[in-house]
Amino acid sequence: MLAGESPYHAMREPSCDSASPGSKGSPIKRSFSWPQGALTRVPTLARMTDGLKDSAATFQSSLPIIAVQLSEYVILAWTTAAIGHSFGEVALAGTSLGFMTFNLGFSIQRSFILGLDTQAPQAFGAGRLADVGLASQRAGICALTFACLVGPSMWFIKPLLLAIGQPAEMVEYAMIYLRCLSYSLPVHAIFDAAARFLWAQNILWPPLYAAIVGTVAQAIWTLLVAGNGQLGYAGAAFAPLFSYSAMLITLLSLMARYRPHAEQTWPGLRIRRAIISQADGQFVAFVKLSVACAFGESSEWWWWELVGIHVGTFGSRAAAAHAIGYTLVPLLIMVPNSIGIGMCNVVGRQLGSGDIKVAKRTAALALGFGTAVACAYSGA
């Protein structure tokens, strides 16, 4: 790879043109004439081939991400199901209420990670390797700070839940679950930033392996603790924290042991450069992206959660019935959502390397595929 050349360009195959391979310009003299219309058909075929390659690259990048996102949510769904089976209707309704309340804060924390989805892949595609690590640190620090501030405040939300008409017996369970789940906010902040740091470089396997370990940890905790109620409701409610912590420890251990990322992408922990220094305008751009993501995603997410919370005012039986659908439907959302993350990484690297037309085509194809998946859900 030439000095200053983008690593993304180094991985791409050279485009075919009329110049001879390896030469700087003399065209190949052809001893025959092109058939009529061939010059218009060949570029069209080339564009179709490139489009298929871009679609395959986006889908291939999305598959491990889909698995990770599904694993993260399955941990919560599994916990909810185990609680409903072991502790009954009111506990199930209270768990759902605690989960929905937790998501109101978690959705804002995710906006910092979504801002990272834009900055890190573009930096990698442009060859600004150190900025990949700095962007990841920036998002991780902001998300971690938010988690440490908002997490403890969730412990004191009981009067508000009672004031909006939630049944007292549900609120008691919700507060236990909410306190247990709030400890996972910092874990999510670090895991999500580390996973995006790798995904931006098209390194897909470490987060996937970590997700597998987390799912196995969830199975062990459910079978030994949550499923039989040995440690009571609180023991079952701690299952997500146990599983997410196993995921984080596994991911960081894999990164430390195998160092799969490009060495230049991690300049060491540089808080001043990532947060305090604003000379390059990256922090201001990150804040703008995060605010836009907060309004864009949280508005939809909050509507979903607030409707569910309102169901609780009809009593624990209605809330428990709603909890089943509330738990299952987001599993379907994980697929198009993960395709979107994969698209951000592929398109971001293409934009960073200057391939604007290719990036537009990839985005359009990924959007079409994601829409088709959503329509298939609706038809089913």
**pLDDT (tens digit, 9 = 90+) per residue, 147-178?**
999 999 999 999 999 999 999 999 999 999 99
Tell me: pLDDT of 5 over 60.
no
- pLDDT at position 232: 84
Read off the pLDDT of each residue in 81-86 and give the average, rounded to a whole number: 89
More confident residue, 224 or 2: 224
pLDDT at 48: 55
Query: Out of 38-42, 78-82, 321-325, which region has the weakest mean confidence (pLDDT)?
Result: 38-42
Rg, Å, the chain Cα set? 24
Domain hosting residue 257, numbered range: 60-352+364-379
DSSP state of 231: T
| pLDDT tops 90 at residue 342 | no
Tokens of 200: 């931006």
The verdict on residue 71 lying in a domain is yes
- Which one, of 226, 223, 218, lies nearest residue 244 by Cα? 218
Give residue 241's pLDDT.
94
Q: What is the pLDDT of residues 270-317, one digit of tens each?
A: 887 777 765 567 888 898 999 998 888 777 888 889 999 999 999 999
Please check whether residue 357 lies inside any domain of the structure. Answer: no
Counted domains in the chain: 1
Residues 12-68 have pLDDT tens digits of 443 434 444 444 444 444 444 444 444 444 455 555 566 566 667 667 778 999 999
- What is the percentage of the chain residues whose pLDDT exceeds 90? 57
Q: What is the pLDDT of residues 347-379, one digit of tens each?
A: 999 999 999 998 898 888 888 887 888 788 766
Q: Specify if 169 maps to a domain.
A: yes
249 in a structural domain: yes
Output 125 or 337, whichever has higher pLDDT: 125
SS3 19: strand
Residue 36 resides in a domain: no
pLDDT at 30: 41
What pLDDT is recorded for position 330?
Answer: 84
Mean pLDDT computed over every residue of the chain: 84
Residue 257 lies in a domain: yes
Sign of the alpha-carbon dihedral angle for 142, 136, 101, 169: negative
Here the tokens at position 303 are 């509507």
Question: Does the residue 41 lie in any domain?
Answer: no
* Residue 323 falls inside a structural domain: yes
pLDDT band at 229 (very low <50, low <70, confident <90, very high): low
Give the model's confidence band at 99: pLDDT under 50 very low, under 70 low, under 90 confident, else very high.
Answer: very high
What is the model's pLDDT at position 2? Answer: 47
CA 324 to chain centre: 24
In the predicted structure, residue 113 carries a pLDDT above the cut 60: yes
What pLDDT score was predicted for residue 12?
A: 44
Identify the pLDDT of residue 307.
Answer: 92
Asked if 206 and 262 count as a contact pair (C-beta separation under 8 A), the reply is: no
Q: Are 143 and 189 in contact (CB under 8 A)?
A: yes
Could you tell me if 212 and 63 are in contact, meaning their C-beta atoms sit under 8 angstroms apart? no
